[in-house]
Amino acid sequence: AAVWRDVATGRELFQRLRALPGFGEEKTRITVSVLAKKLGVTPPGWEEFGASWHSIADVDSPESMEQARSVKRQLKADRAKRAG
């Protein structure tokens, strides 16, 4: 909680999370969305730094979980196609 407590802006929240070991761009954006949508951590401008795709932050039913998994599979496939 110390990471997101007292953040003034969405940018600051993103930067604090991004500085954590193992947090790349995608994981950081998803975490910003989870904090906002599930825990109410909504500093001004957080939307700009949240996930712009359907992620675990949007899951509220088995159907939406399947949609999130489908989106993740597509993102991975797109990334693999670009890489090789």
| Token reading at 70 | 């489908």
Residue 4 is assigned to a structural domain of this protein: no
Residue 5 is assigned to a structural domain of this protein: no
Residue 2 is assigned to a structural domain of this protein: no
Residue 30 is assigned to a structural domain of this protein: yes
Residue 23 is assigned to a structural domain of this protein: yes
CA angle 49, 60, 36 (to 5 degrees): 25
Residue 1 is assigned to a structural domain of this protein: no
Residue 3 is assigned to a structural domain of this protein: no
> Domain range for residue 55?
10-83
Q: Contact 54/71 with Cβ under 8 angstroms?
A: yes
Task: Look at the chain and report how many structural domains it folds into.
Answer: 1
Q: Contact 50/36 with Cβ under 8 angstroms?
A: yes
| Nearest residue to 56 (alpha-carbon basis) of 34, 75, 74, 78 | 34
Per-residue pLDDT of the chain (84 residues; tens, 9 = 90+): 899 999 999 999 999 999 999 999 999 999 999 999 999 999 999 999 999 988 889 899 999 899 889 988 998 999 899 998
